[in-house]
Amino acid sequence: MALERSDVEKIAHLARLGLDDAELPRTTETLNGILGLIDRMQAVDTHGIEPLAHPLEATQRLRPDEVTESNRRDAYQAIAPAVENGLYLVPKVIE
């Protein structure tokens, strides 16, 4: 199904789009490309393929949840201006 210039003008009017004469050929070509893609997708044989209720039903492969780095909190806090009980102390911002 190919759209003609008059079809695109009607669609633009219904969508309240202000297309000028210079934009109509490019818009017509773009819409015809989209409709061509839809036609090709509908032509694909999907017989025997079970539809998914949700595309994320597939199981994700996850890495094991293991600690890979050592605790370096003391080294990081050694250069801090003020630390107490493993927490950084900062100036009070809100009074």
Q: What local confidence, expressed as pLDDT, does residue 57 receive?
A: 67
Q: What local confidence, expressed as pLDDT, does residue 73 receive?
A: 92
For the stretch 30-51, pLDDT in tens is 999 999 999 999 999 989 888 7
Amino acid type, 25? P
How far apart are the C-alpha atoms of 65 and 34, rounded to whole Å? 44
| Of residues 94 and 60, more confidently modeled | 94
For the stretch 55-92, pLDDT in tens is 676 677 888 889 889 999 999 999 999 999 999 999 98
pLDDT exceeds cutoff 70 at 4 = yes
Its pTM stands at 0.50
Q: What local confidence, expressed as pLDDT, does residue 31 receive?
A: 93
